[in-house]
């Protein structure tokens, strides 16, 4: 059983398209996160939800919109994809925001062509 799972693992799409990445955790955690890893391997927080409430919203273009239908799921929708959005996106979860161990999904490699 995968603790934090993301789909799809790979996503290749054209500029201007809209795409979604889904994340689910079966750990019973209250907090979920989206991180972006750029081509230099730098990992940066994008969003975090705690019990379906947005608690972190870093400086991210409005084209990115997270949605948390319940505390086990956090999806990321991206509108009007741009070349610069190409990256690996990681979902993560932890029991208590910022204070307990976080576990990461396997990542979604997004390539915009």
Partner 1 sequence: GIQVEQSPPDLILQEGANSTLRCNFSDSVNNLQWFHQNPWGQLINLFYIPSGTKQNGRLSATTVATERYSLLYISSSQTTDSGVYFCAPTGGGSNYKLTFGKGTLLTVNP
At 69 the three-state DSSP class reads strand
User: Which part of the chain contacts partner 1 (CB under 8 A), choosing from 22-30, 45-53, 65-73, 78-86?
Assistant: 45-53
- Over its C-alpha atoms, the chain yields an Rg (Å, rounded) of 13
Neighbour-count burial of 22, counting CB atoms closer than 10 A to its CB (0-12 exposed, 13-18 middle, 19+ buried): middle
Instruction: Examine residue 91 and tell whether it contacts partner 1 (CB under 8 A).
Output: no
Instruction: Examine residue 20 and tell whether it contacts partner 1 (CB under 8 A).
Output: no
What's the min distance (Å) between Cβ of 80 and partner 1?
26
Instruction: Examine residue 88 and tell whether it contacts partner 1 (CB under 8 A).
Output: yes
Q: Which of 1, 14, 42, 113 binds partner 1 (CB under 8 A)?
A: 42
How would you list the strands of the sheet with 64-70, edge to edge?
Answer: 4-7, 19-25, 73-78, 64-70
User: Which part of the chain contacts partner 1 (CB under 8 A), choosing from 14-22, 59-67, 71-79, 93-101?
Assistant: 93-101
Whole-angstrom distance, CA of residue 54 vs CA of residue 65: 11
Q: Which residues bind partner 1 (CB under 8 A)?
A: 31, 33, 35, 40-45, 48, 50, 55-56, 88, 90, 92, 97-104, 106-107, 109
């Amino acid at each position: 059983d995968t603790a934090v799972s993301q789909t799809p693992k790979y996503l290749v799409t054209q500029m201007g398209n809209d795409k979604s990445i889904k994340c689910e955790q079966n750990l019973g955690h209250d907090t979920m996160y989206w991180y972006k890893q750029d081509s230099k391997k730098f990992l940066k927080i994008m969003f975090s939800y705690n019990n379906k409430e947005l608690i972190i919203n870093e400086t991210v273009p409005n084209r990115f919109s997270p949605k948390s239908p319940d505390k086990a799921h956090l999806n990321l929708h991206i509108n009007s994809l741009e070349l610069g959005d190409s990256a690996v996106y990681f979902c993560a979860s932890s029991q208590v925001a910022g204070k307990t161990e976080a576990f990461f999904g396997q990542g979604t490699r997004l390539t915009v062509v």
